Structure 1
Amino acid sequence: MNDASAVANALEGIDTAFYIAPVEIENEAETGKQFVALAKNAGVRRIVFSSVIHPILSELPNHAGKAPVEEAILDSDLEYVLLHPAVFFQNLKSAWPKVKETGVHGEPWSNDTRFSRVDYRDVAEVAAIAPTEDRLLFGTFELCADGVLNRYDIAALMSDVLGRIVTAKKIDPPSEGGNAKLARMFAWYDKHPLLGNATTLRAILGREPRTLQAFLQDLNGGH
């Protein structure tokens, strides 16, 4: 952690800490473990950790880096809530203008790979419950919307929303940067699905989770 003393000072007098690792952070596991130690030393009572679905997947660096943090939380004897969100609907937002322009939905892994996904607004609603109520205390919660969709399925939803055909395509990964972690992730996605179940999220929210089709309609201005 770049400035442990600053983090320790910020945690003084805090009852509950919400922790989420920055994207692409180096030494994610050690940073998270240090945060847990600092929180305990500062007298924090509860940690809510926004982890990831299936953190035991060692071939996915952005998953495996979170498993040791969860272990540190469990070893800390602090109160905890562990959140395991699936792939976010919002990850599609940056590609939406190009989909509208080209009629192609492309990503650098197999068109056939299926994912469970979730709207981050639903995750945020759960994340607001976790530190303010006790009903999720000492729980580990998989957060997924209904549906396990591959790229063909998503392209079909995009076609319905746009009123014209959108084609699914496997594209080449970005050539610049040589990001080894991304390369490993794309290679894993090319062969394996990443799936979960909506039952837990539905129970926590007390309603149906938001759907991908509704999210795409929002991206398209509500049409």
Structure 2
Amino acid sequence: MSARVAVVGGHGKTGRAVVEVLVGRGASAVALGRADRDDLAGALADCAAVYVIAPNLHPEEPAYVAETIAAARTAAVGRLVYHSVASPYVPEMPHHLGKAVSEDLVRRSGLAWTILQPGAYLQNLDLRGPVVGVPYDVDVPFGFLDLSDLGAAAATVLLGDGHTGATYELASRQATVRELAAEQGLTAERVADPGSHPWLTAMFAYYDRHGLPVGTLPLRALLADRP
């Protein structure tokens, strides 16, 4: 019988990437969205594992994660994997701090847990050209993560053994935005901050000064037996 795995937040781009790989590896993937939260424990029934993705820029992510943990306990889910972020404890980025607090809740949950800390998605960059514009310095270092690699890493820890109590940084490669653009024959330039959300503005300001370096070794180790 195939493993039944729930993906809370399974309808967004991150969740879809995880579901796709789970299905490809023979698991029965259950994508859960906002409509399922009224009876989340019921939705998690008979699931061997759950992958937890909070909505982007959720104002109360720790509460969201705590609610999911409680539902997983009620449903007797055997394994919980939390989708966090690289460098969760960064006081200058409020949404990162929410994930740092959530990580603490996961570690104290009493469940068999694993935490993934992804870098910035490669897919968030518009590489169609001719100019790649981002609202921060194009020469600061990043650890970029391809969504397909994220899905593969998540499926590995959800379905495999030996990952309980582990926290993995995830990046497919290290580069600057300028380097990525140049590889496509494009140029890169810093553009004005669109000012869409104060947390994003804070994130761009942090990136402008420090980038977001992330190591690539954990991902390579997780996917060592994959093409």
Coarse TM-score class (shorter-chain normalised)? 0.7 to 0.9
Structure holding more strand per residue: 2
Partner in structure 1 of residue 181 of structure 2: 155
Measured in 1, the distance between the counterparts of 2:191 and 2:207 equals: 13
The one-letter code of the counterpart of 1:25 is H
The answer for the alignment partner of 2:27 in structure 1 is: none
8 A Cα contact 1:28 1:65, kept in partner: yes
- Residue 162 of structure 2: SS of its match in structure 1? coil
> Aligned equivalents of 2:145 and 2:72: distance in 1?
29
- CA drift of 1:172 comes to 0.5
- Residue 125 of structure 1: aligned partner: 152
Residue aligning to 2:216: 198
Q: How does 1:5-16 map to 2 (within 5 A)?
A: 5-16=38-49
After superposition, the Cα gap between the structure-2 partners of 1:2 and 1:10, relative to the gap in structure 1 and judged at 3 Å, is closer
Query: How many Å separate the matches in 1 of 2:45 and 2:78?
Result: 11
With normalisation by structure 1, the TM-score equals 0.79
Percent pairwise identity: 32
Partner of 1:189: 207
Alignment pair present for 1:96 and 2:127: yes
Q: Which runs of 5+ in 2 are unaligned?
A: 1-33
Name the SS for the 2:105 alignment partner. Answer: helix
Q: How far off its partner does 1:133 sit?
A: 1.3
The answer (yes or no) to whether the contact 2:127–2:181 under 8 Å persists in 1 is: no
- 8 Å contact 2:36–2:43 — kept in the other structure? no
Larger radius of gyration: 1
What's the TM-score once normalised by structure 2's chain length?
0.78
Residues of 2 paired with 1:12 and 1:208: CA distance?
A: 30
1:150-203 CA deviation, whole Å, 9 max, x = no partner?
Answer: 2321221121xxxxxx2221101115x4x1111111111111121121111111
The residue number in structure 2 matching 1:163 is: none
1:190 aligns to what SS in structure 2?
A: helix
- Aligned partners of 1:2, 1:31: CA distance in 2, in Å? 14
> Which ranges of structure 1 fall in alignment gaps of 5 or more residues?
160-165, 210-223
**Alignment-mate amino acid for residue 49 of structure 2:** T
Q: CA RMSD in A?
A: 2.1
Deviations along 1:65-115, whole A, 9 cap, x unmatched? 1112211111111101111111111112xx234x2xxx2111111122211
Q: How does 1:1-223 map to 2 (within 5 A)?
A: 4-92=37-125, 95-97=126-128, 99=129, 103-147=130-174, 149-159=175-185, 166-175=186-195, 177=196, 179-206=197-224
CA 1:108–1:8 in 2, change beyond 3 Å: closer, same or farther? same
User: Is the Cα–Cα contact under 8 Å of residues 33 and 68 in structure 1 kept in the other structure?
Assistant: no
- 1:58 and 1:2 map into 2 onto residues whose CA distance is 32
Residue pair 2:58, 2:95 contacting (<8 A) in 1 also: no
Which whole-Å CA distance do the structure 2 matches of 1:140 and 1:130 have between them?
11
Runs (4+) of structure 1 moved beyond 4 Å? 1-4
Q: Post-superposition shift, 1:4?
A: 4.7
1:125 & 1:188 partners in 2: Cα distance?
29
Conserved? CA contact 1:113–1:189, under 8 Å: yes
